[in-house]
Amino acid sequence: MDHKYIADLPELVGEEVTLHGWMYNKRSSGKIWFLILRDGTGYCQCVVVKGNVTDEIFAVEPKLTQESSLSVTGLVKKDDRSVGGYEIEVKSLELHQIAEDYPISPKDHGTAFLMDNRHLWLRSKRQNAILRIRHEILRSCRDYLDDNGFIQVDTPIFTANACEGTTTLFKTDYFGRSAYLTQSGQLYNEAAAMAVGKTYCFGPTFRAEKSKTRRHLTEFWMLEPEIAYCDLEEDMAWAEGLLISVVERILDRCGDLLEILERDTSKLSQVKGPFPRISYTEAVEILHKNGEEIEWGEDFGGGHETVISDQFDLPVIVHRFPATIKAFYMKRAPEDEKVVLGMDILAPEGFGEIVGGSQREEDPDLLLERMKEEGLNPDDFKWYLDLRKYGSVPHSGFGLGIERLVSWICGLPHIRETIPFPRTLTRLEP
């Protein structure tokens, strides 16, 4: 099927084409009227001149409503004054459906209204740009990992146990057994790394957190690389390299989309390696110097992360967190048993944590001890403990939250715009 799109027009000047899309806007001036057509790839002005089309086609204009669907055939012309820089000299037009009164008008609407109409709001320029940038971010992530020898291994959505703590699990009945929506593919990914060396999984993850902040969703997507024979230092290097690669590609390929979002790209252009690296203890000292009240051993809140990241122009890697606030599988630092070989990467400009990772505990006895300390039943993790019985090696990995990455790169004030249909504490539809 030789289907032409508005994005193809630069290569089609002087040719007659048929475009399929929806009416975005229109205006009339006597013997000529103008139609702004959108097709998902862009916008194009279509010029309808009386005498160049049948009277029937010319008379269509008063009937057209916003989001009416139609096909337009005509000659492609270059015109810098037109939206998108090209226009169609219309020869014929086929109307598919006259849309009812479209609820999202050009006037301002409240957030609740727009989210209730999210299935329609996605058609707007802004949301279209975000969707396209998200797509390119995902492509960039996968290309970086694939090009560096990583193998994608899909991990299950239903799990029998927790990965990140038992208090944020979504429980469901699984044929008479208790099952949970996955918090992370990490544990299964560790098994895959022992099979293929370098692996990653990518999919939806779920946290039953009763949080209403601008950084939290109950359903979000995570990219999780895992590397055998890898320590924390190498783990941080992999995460840094991935982020640098993604930002460079978005700046190279999505400049027009970032412009639609009015994103200040000058700060993104500064994202080069190496990223500053500070310990949790050093981060607490920064907070104290900036008047923040926090005791050593407490986890960072969103405000703390913002204060820390504001001290740097680049993403900052915070490492060696207190063991008491991190997961059971993180390896303790050899120089200090009170801290783990874990790391978070905080995005600049106040966008918070976008990466969390660690070196995993490879010793079966120590891992078992950590499980018991956390009140976990080792029988539930028998298969996971097997990984330490049969050829255990030092290994590390991290999780990259796609929505938080999109939020930072796009400069979005709230994470709900980063995913087509967000799930939050108060929203389960559309």
Say yes or no: 387 and 295 in one domain.
yes
Say yes or no: 88 and 151 in one domain.
no
The whole domain housing 17 covers: 6-97
> Does a structural domain hold residue 105?
no
Q: What does the CA dihedral 331, 332, 335, 336 come to, rounded to 10 degrees? A: 160
> Does a structural domain hold residue 161?
yes
> Does a structural domain hold residue 160?
yes
Say yes or no: 51 and 163 in one domain.
no
Say yes or no: 268 and 407 in one domain.
yes
> Does a structural domain hold residue 259?
yes
> Does a structural domain hold residue 335?
yes
The residues facing 404 across adjacent strands are none
Global pTM? 0.94
Say yes or no: 89 and 133 in one domain.
no
Residue 354: per-residue pLDDT: 97
Residue 61: per-residue pLDDT: 95
3-state secondary structure of 30: coil
> Do the beta carbons of residue 368 and residue 252 sit within 8 Å?
no
CATH number at 54 reads 2.40.50.140
Cα distances (Å, whole numbers) of residue 119 to 122, 123, 219, 314, 429:
6, 8, 17, 35, 10
* CB within 8 Å of 215: residues ≥ 6 apart: 302, 351, 352, 404, 407, 415
Residue 165: per-residue pLDDT: 65
Instruction: Report how far residue 301's alpha carbon sits from residue 299's, in angstroms, rounded to the nearest whole number.
Output: 7
- Name which of 404, 308, 399, 388 is nearest 358 in CA terms: 399
Q: How many helices (H) and strands (E) does the chain have?
A: 13, 18
Q: Compute the mean pLDDT over every residue in the chain, rounded to the nearest whole number.
A: 95
Say yes or no: 83 and 177 in one domain.
no
Say yes or no: 71 and 191 in one domain.
no
One-letter amino acid for residue 61 of the chain:
E
Local confidence pLDDT in tens for the 430 residues of the chain: 579 999 999 999 999 999 999 999 999 988 999 999 999 999 999 999 999 999 999 999 999 999 999 999 999 999 999 998 999 999 999 999 999 999 998 788 999 999 999 999 999 999 999 999 999 999 999 999 999 999 999 999 999 887 766 678 999 999 999 999 999 999 999 999 999 999 999 999 999 988 888 888 999 999 999 999 999 999 999 999 999 999 999 999 999 999 999 999 999 999 999 999 999 999 999 999 999 999 999 999 999 999 999 999 999 999 999 999 999 999 999 999 999 999 999 999 999 999 999 999 999 999 999 999 988 899 989 999 999 999 999 999 999 999 999 999 999 999 999 999 999 999 999 9
CATH number at 240 reads 3.30.930.10
> Do the beta carbons of residue 211 and residue 220 sit within 8 Å?
no
Say yes or no: 156 and 89 in one domain.
no
Say yes or no: 217 and 285 in one domain.
yes
> Do the strands 219-228 and 395-401 form a parallel or antiparallel pair, or are they unpaired?
antiparallel
Q: Which residue's entry shows tokens 């037109």?
A: 82
What would the two tokens of residue 11 be?
């290569």
**For the chain, how many residues are written?**
430
3-state secondary structure of 347: strand
> Do the beta carbons of residue 331 and residue 341 sit within 8 Å?
yes
3-state secondary structure of 27: strand
> Does a structural domain hold residue 67?
yes
Instruction: Report how far residue 249's alpha carbon sits from residue 271's, in angstroms, rounded to the nearest whole number.
Output: 12
User: What's the total number of domains in the chain?
Assistant: 2
Alpha-helical segments (H) within 254-392: 255-260, 265-268, 280-289, 302-309, 364-373, 382-389
Residue 215: per-residue pLDDT: 85
> Do the beta carbons of residue 73 and residue 93 sit within 8 Å?
yes
Residue 355: per-residue pLDDT: 98
